[in-house]
Structure 1
Amino acid sequence: MADHHFTETQIPQQRNYYNSVPFPSVLSLNPTTTVPCSASLLVETIKSKKPFLDSLLHKTGAVLFRGFDIKTAEDFNDVVEAFGYEDLPYVGGTAPRTNVVGRVYTTNETPPDKNIGFHHEMAQAPEYPSKLLFFCEVAPASGGETPIVLSHIVYERMRQKYPEFVEKLEKHGLIYSRLLREDDDTSSPIGRGWKSTFSTEDKAVAEERAAKLGIRLEWMEDGRVKRITGPVPAIRHDKSRQRKIWFTSMIGWEHAGNDPVNTITFGDGTPLPADICHDCLKFLEEECVAIPWLEGDVLLIDNFAVLHSRRPSKPPRRILASLCK
């Protein structure tokens, strides 16, 4: 078997941060040809170049694999398996999503014309994925990108402009509260109902499973439940890179029956200043990289280093995902 090597390629959307490290890294096998490489060749090369890929991901935070003939959820599942990361079941997450095959899920099933704000996957859960893999099965004609941004850059910009606010965040963390219906509401990015969130129809079992995730449930008379999480740390320390990161989706999500102002508060219960939240959104947009999807793209993200979001698009758009421990 020939020894294949990845080649780092450049695309116009990349950004260069310190030491001119491109963000994200873009890898292909034959950048000079227009013929995509087979899925099996990608799988083989991932397995043989695992130490190189781990160190590249640690350095850059995100790696895009482009120019591969990956067509189906099954192909993508083979790619996911090739990395050898442990699977993380999606329990307690807020997005409506469905298992497709093996370790592959749909991404958030909200209609594609809705924007999804920047977040670290399952940042409010005691156990969140360390890596995320996305695969573009059907590319949108326009829009629908998955913008990514380096979390420590956001932290540095916020600390520079709002030191007292950031200090209060570090001290108190955040409390997230949200009303859940019984069943899924696919019109909302966080519309997963309590039954599918906790994989049960029994309220007592839901409470038990919620408690393990650090979540309190308060049942309402109309069949909905208030889910309260926190205080959860909003600033974390990335030990392996020796830097602080902005580990929160601080912006109140618009969602049926939820008041965005009270959805997220400081850990001491005081409200978040709207103008500072608005500025944070601006920083996220200014610092992010949004690469238009091409069919067959696979994006590997370090969930501890990078926040991601979703831009609106018209259908069709089908991006699949896998979460790893």
Structure 2
Amino acid sequence: MSSSFKEIQIQHQKHYSNIPSFPFPSVLSPNPFSSSTLSFFTDSIIAQKPFLDSLLLKTGAILFRGFDVNTAKDFNDVVEAFGFEELPYVGGAAPRTNVVGRVFTANESPPDQKIPFHHEMAQVPEFPSKLFFFCEVEPGSGGETPIVLSHVVYERMKERYPDFVEKIEEHGLIYTRVLGEEDDPSSPIGRGWKSTFLTNDKSVAEQRAAKLGMTLEWFEDGVKTIMGPIPAIKYDKSRNRKIWFNSMVAAYTGWKDARNDPVKAVTFGDGQPLPGDIIHDCLKILEEESLAIPWQKGDVLLIDNWAVLHARRSFNPPRRVLASLCK
């Protein structure tokens, strides 16, 4: 173990007995003989990047706990220290606000709403490979960010529903979403088309949508976006395994607001409707295999978006969790 970080065990972690065995997620805190200051933390990240990269490859997620990360700017410094390239948030569904530098609010949907399991931006071709979360204000209660290993979900679904998995591997999925002009903060998918495509110009939105492989159908007060067919299962080359890389459960169970009917939000790539019973069983598998560590102020969670799906539980305010996306 490197000198600046101490790997610790905490409640709620899962332990996988694969060879080699590993805890999920890894939890790193300051070594008792070193400092916990922000500058020491960022210097340690830069100096020990190969160690952190190999740990992330092995476990899929790292929680940094006990370091002096107090503000959005501190968090931005931590993200910058890793040296990953920034990914602009184009095409994602969640309403978010830029806070400072590369830091955004996490999904701003109302506290009483859960956000279902998903890989970040799995419904568009350009998605982040890494994402960071930072707890600036601890939740009053609830508000955890559950995580689950994607290849485990794939293996369980393949075992239970081989025909269904074969069909989505062959045909992919189509995602359909209706956007208003402006953001709707009452909806978990309430990002309006102007902020989705980072423009007020419909022709620029058309160009950016086309670049994503997305078709737009305009209405008087909004637009329908049609994405796909897009793969639902991907191959993670770095770990040599198939992963459950889609927003199927999130769309089918959670893409609901005044404009959207979740059952119509996602279909097989050939346009056929999905079987609701299998989707709800998949949700059970996601819940069974997941874990949720309660947030503490100053926590920084680094997730490999190729390896891990995440969600959000409902909460009692206050809670402020910030995010940053990396290519």
What's the TM-score once normalised by structure 2's chain length?
0.95
Aligned residues of 1:174 and 1:267 also touching (Cα < 8 A):
yes
One-letter identity of the residue aligned with 1:254 = K
Matching residue of 1:242: 240
List gaps (5 residues or longer) in structure 2.
none
Q: CA deviation at 1:224?
A: 1.7
Greater shift, 15-24 or 290-299, is seen at: 15-24
Q: Which runs of 4+ in 1 moved over 3 A?
A: 30-33
- For 2:62 and 2:258, the matched residues in 1 are separated by 35
Aligned residues of 1:4 and 1:29 also touching (Cα < 8 A):
no
Q: How does 1:11-160 map to 2 (within 5 A)?
A: 11-17=10-16, 18-19=18-19, 20-30=21-31, 37-160=36-159
Matching residue of 1:258: 260
Q: Secondary structure at the match of 1:248?
A: coil
One-letter identity of the residue aligned with 1:50 = K
Q: CA deviation at 1:16?
A: 1.1
One-letter identity of the residue aligned with 1:23 = F
Q: CA deviation at 1:142?
A: 1.4
Matching residue of 1:309: 311
Q: Secondary structure at the match of 2:178?
A: strand
Matching residue of 2:284: 282
Q: CA deviation at 1:317?
A: 0.3
Q: Secondary structure at the match of 2:136?
A: strand
Aligned residues of 1:4 and 1:45 also touching (Cα < 8 A):
no
Matching residue of 1:297: 299
Q: Secondary structure at the match of 2:165?
A: helix
Q: Secondary structure at the match of 1:82?
A: helix
- For 1:148 and 1:256, the matched residues in 2 are separated by 29
- For 1:10 and 1:31, the matched residues in 2 are separated by 15
- For 1:55 and 1:32, the matched residues in 2 are separated by 23
- For 1:32 and 1:286, the matched residues in 2 are separated by 38
Aligned residues of 2:3 and 2:31 also touching (Cα < 8 A):
no
Q: Secondary structure at the match of 2:142?
A: coil
Aligned residues of 2:4 and 2:31 also touching (Cα < 8 A):
no
- For 1:31 and 1:13, the matched residues in 2 are separated by 23
Aligned residues of 1:14 and 1:22 also touching (Cα < 8 A):
yes
Q: CA deviation at 1:31?
A: 5.5
Aligned residues of 2:114 and 2:312 also touching (Cα < 8 A):
yes
Matching residue of 2:229: 231
- For 2:202 and 2:73, the matched residues in 1 are separated by 36
Matching residue of 1:172: 171
Aligned residues of 1:9 and 1:31 also touching (Cα < 8 A):
no
One-letter identity of the residue aligned with 2:225 = R
List gaps (5 residues or longer) in structure 1.
none
Q: Secondary structure at the match of 2:206?
A: helix
- For 1:123 and 1:134, the matched residues in 2 are separated by 18
Aligned residues: 320
CA RMSD of aligned residues (A): 1.4
Q: CA deviation at 1:193?
A: 0.4
Q: CA deviation at 1:112?
A: 1.8
- For 2:178 and 2:123, the matched residues in 1 are separated by 15
Q: CA deviation at 1:124?
A: 1.7
Q: CA deviation at 1:32?
A: 9.0
Matching residue of 1:219: 218
Aligned residues of 1:122 and 1:129 also touching (Cα < 8 A):
yes
What's the TM-score once normalised by structure 1's chain length?
0.96
Aligned residues of 2:173 and 2:266 also touching (Cα < 8 A):
yes
One-letter identity of the residue aligned with 2:299 = D
Aligned residues of 1:104 and 1:321 also touching (Cα < 8 A):
yes
Matching residue of 2:206: 207
Deviations 1:103-132 (A, max 9, x none): 111111111221001111111222110100
One-letter identity of the residue aligned with 2:37 = S
Q: Secondary structure at the match of 2:156?
A: helix
